């Protein structure tokens, strides 16, 4: 079967800040239905890679090509504390050319935040902010969704909602890239795992039924080999 | 073009809504304006210095520094929760962000000026009803120039450690030409001079408006690079 045209394609990406090289020679591509899980220790370059793939950072060398809308969930929520959840989504919707109150309501419901839609974000818990941030990223109906530690600070119920969203995206043929330490939560959804070691992609392999322990064992093996 | 203006107006409206709700910058700017006008009023010896000699300088010192409080705040909003990333991920040109911020700042400074102007007239006991339209025209022209530069520099300094100190340091040198023009024009307007006496300074101020707005519009994207 012929493989679909990649939704996101990075070629020989290098990124440095001053003299410090954070990413080196990263090549990766994802197509609709792909679920790439990025694994790496703190400082391995996961966040920088996600930001480069999203277009928020320009690569020092190499290229990144995206087709279609891109959504991103980062450590920071990209939300305004003084606005309500509904106002935040409506504002981002307008930026994406989707001035649609029904869409905003649907996303609030999907993220389990409908009863809190008219509350200011400043009054939200960390988990609620994270769910709203994911809702914000879903507004443009992205072809590819990039998530940096999306499950941090979420309780089981909230993590369940996020997992449902990710499953739904995969089912609908969207591409997903997740950088996470919480492998247990997403390893069964992932199709591919990328091992980031010291800013290099030490391996890009199919998950092939491996569990979180097996993935981490493989990461340690690659990290030990440098 | 439609999405450009939709996005720019959405950003301006969002900034105004947040300011209306929090009133952080507006309250500080207004208190500052009243204090400066009062200090100038009490520092003047009415038997030695005429109101018309000191009023133009007092007016523009008040407006310039009060406006800076708002200009500082403009991009602080976007650095909280890295909201700027949300704007950059939207399919809009960076110049739409500049225009949105510029319009938001212009409204903020305009409101501060509108509230301070009656106080200024009251403090200096100026019979300027006839000159009021001309004075407001001069204020509007000078405000456009310094808000344009202030918006650009505010986006530059927001990622620095001492953003609130850096903005005045960087901004004031750029403001000297338009503020000198504004003070000269204000002095002539308050003295009831004919329009022919104002033409030279008006042309100069109009040139600064055009140059500053166009330059800032095109330079803005460069300030976003990390």
The ipTM assigned to this model is: 0.91
CB pair distance less than 8 Å for A83 and B18: yes
Exposure class string for B57-85: b at 16+ Cβ within 10 A, else e = ebbbbbbbebbbbbbbbbbebbebbbbbb
CB pair distance less than 8 Å for A80 and B21: no
pLDDT at B164: 78
Question: Is A7's pLDDT higher than 90?
Answer: no
Mean local confidence (pLDDT), A84-107:
96
The minimal CB distance from A54 to the residues B17, B77, B89 is found for B89
Question: Is B161's pLDDT higher than 80?
Answer: no
Q: How far apart are CA A209 and CA A126, in angstroms?
A: 32
When mean pLDDT is compared across A103-107, B8-12, B24-28, the lowest value belongs to B24-28
When mean pLDDT is compared across A63-77, B26-40, B161-175, the lowest value belongs to B161-175
pLDDT at A1: 44
Are A186 and A94 contacting, i.e. CB atoms less than 8 angstroms apart?
no
**What is the domain range of residue B167?**
2-223
C-alpha angle B140/B143/B162, rounded to 5°? 165
pLDDT tens readout for residues A171-202: 999 999 999 888 888 899 999 999 999 999 99
Are B71 and B147 contacting, i.e. CB atoms less than 8 angstroms apart?
yes
pLDDT at A4: 63
CB pair distance less than 8 Å for B81 and A94: no
With a CB-CB cutoff of 8 Å, which residues 111-150 of chain B face chain A?
A: none
Are B13 and B100 contacting, i.e. CB atoms less than 8 angstroms apart?
no
CA distance B73 to chain A (A): 14
CB pair distance less than 8 Å for B86 and A58: no
Q: What would the DSSP string read from start to end of chain B?
A: -HHHHHHHHHHHHHHHHHHHHH-HHHHHHHHHHHHHHHHHHHH--TTTS-HHHHHHHHHHHHHHHHHHHHHHHHHHHHHGGGHHHHHHHSSS-HHHHHHHHHHHHHHHHHHHHHHHHHHHHHHHT---TTTHHHHHHHHHHHHHHHHHHHHHHHHHHTTSTTHHHHHHHHHHHHHHHHHHHHHHHHHHHHTT--HHHHHHHHHHHHHHHHHHHHHHHHHGGGGG--
CA distance B167 to chain A (A): 23
| Count of CA atoms in the C-beta half-sphere (13 A) of B19 | 28
Q: How many CB atoms sit inside 10 A of residue A91's CB?
A: 24
Q: Is the Cβ of B79 closer than 8 Å to some Cβ of chain A?
A: no
The minimal CB distance from A91 to the residues B14, B89, B225 is found for B14
Q: Which two tokens stand for residue A114?
A: 């409908």
Mutation site for A-interface testing, chosen from B1, B13, B84, B86 by largest number of A Cβ within 10 Å: B86
CA distance B170 to chain A (A): 24
Sorting pLDDT into bands at 50, 70 and 90, what band is A3? Answer: low
Sorting pLDDT into bands at 50, 70 and 90, what band is B203? Answer: very high
First to last CA, chain B: 27
A99 φ/ψ sector (left φ>0, alpha ψ -120 to 50, else beta): beta
> What's this model's pTM, rounded to 2 decimal places?
0.90
C-alpha angle A32/A15/B226, rounded to 5°? 100
> Between residues A104 and B159, which one has the greater pLDDT?
A104
pLDDT tens readout for residues A44-72: 999 999 999 999 999 999 999 998 889 99
CA distance A225 to chain B (A): 33
Q: What H or E segment, with its residue span, contains residue A168?
A: helix A156-171
CA distance readout (Å), A96 to A79, A89, A176, B10, B78:
15, 10, 20, 11, 17
pLDDT tens readout for residues A11-40: 999 999 989 999 999 999 999 999 999 999
Q: How many CB atoms sit inside 10 A of residue A226's CB?
A: 8
At what angle are helices B51-79 and B163-190 packed, to 10 degrees?
Answer: 150
Question: Is B110's pLDDT higher than 90?
Answer: yes
pLDDT at B1: 52
pLDDT at B224: 85
- Structurally, chain B folds into a number of domains equal to 1
pLDDT tens readout for residues A127-175: 899 999 999 999 999 999 999 999 887 888 888 888 999 999 999 999 9
Q: Which residues of B touch A57 (CB under 8 A)?
A: 226
Q: In this structure, what DSSP letter does residue A77 have?
A: -
First to last CA, chain A: 35
């Amino acid at each position: 079967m012929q493989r679909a045209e990649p939704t996101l394609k990075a070629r020989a990406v290098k990124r440095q800040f001053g003299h410090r090289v954070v990413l080196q020679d990263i090549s990766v591509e994802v197509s609709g239905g792909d679920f790439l899980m990025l694994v790496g220790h703190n400082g391995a370059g996961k966040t920088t890679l996600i930001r480069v793939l999203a277009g928020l950072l320009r690569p020092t060398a190499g290229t990144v090509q995206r087709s279609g809308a891109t959504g991103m969930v980062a450590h920071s929520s990209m939300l305004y504390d003084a606005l309500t959840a509904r106002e935040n989504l409506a504002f981002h919707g307008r930026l994406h050319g989707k001035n649609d109150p029904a869409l905003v309501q649907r996303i609030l419901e999907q993220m389990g935040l409908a009863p809190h839609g008219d509350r200011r974000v400043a009054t939200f818990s960390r988990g609620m902010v994270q769910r709203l941030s994911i809702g914000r990223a879903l507004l443009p109906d992205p072809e590819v969704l990039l998530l940096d530690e999306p499950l941090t600070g979420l309780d089981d119920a909230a993590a369940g909602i996020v997992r449902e969203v990710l499953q739904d995206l995969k089912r609908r043929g969207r591409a997903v890239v997740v950088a996470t330490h919480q492998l247990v939560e997403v390893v069964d959804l992932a199709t591919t795992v990328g091992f980031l070691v010291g800013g290099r992609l030490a391996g890009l392999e199919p998950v092939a039924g491996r569990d979180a322990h097996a993935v981490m064992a493989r990461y340690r093996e690659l990290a030990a080999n440098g | 073009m439609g999405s450009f203006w939709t996005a720019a107006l959405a950003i301006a409206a969002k900034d105004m809504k947040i300011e209306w709700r929090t009133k952080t910058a507006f309250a500080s700017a207004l208190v500052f304006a009243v204090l400066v006008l009062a200090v100038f009023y009490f520092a003047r010896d009415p038997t030695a210095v005429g109101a018309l000699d000191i009023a133009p300088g007092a007016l523009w010192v008040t407006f310039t520094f009060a406006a800076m409080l708002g200009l500082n705040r403009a991009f602080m909003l976007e650095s909280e929760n890295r909201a700027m990333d949300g704007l950059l991920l939207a399919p809009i040109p960076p110049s739409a962000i500049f225009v949105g911020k510029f319009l938001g700042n212009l409204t903020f400074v305009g409101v501060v000026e509108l509230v301070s102007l009656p106080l200024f007239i009251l403090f200096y006991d100026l019979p300027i009803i006839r000159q009021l339209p001309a004075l407001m025209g001069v204020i509007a022209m000078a405000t456009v120039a310094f808000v344009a530069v202030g918006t650009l520099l505010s986006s530059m300094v927001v990622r620095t450690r001492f953003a609130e100190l850096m903005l005045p340091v960087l901004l004031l040198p750029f403001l000297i030409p338009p503020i000198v023009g504004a003070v000269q024009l204000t002095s002539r307007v308050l003295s009831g001079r004919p329009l022919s006496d104002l033409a030279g300074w008006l042309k100069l101020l109009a040139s600064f408006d055009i140059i500053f707005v166009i330059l800032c519009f095109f330079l803005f994207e460069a300030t976003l690079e990390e």
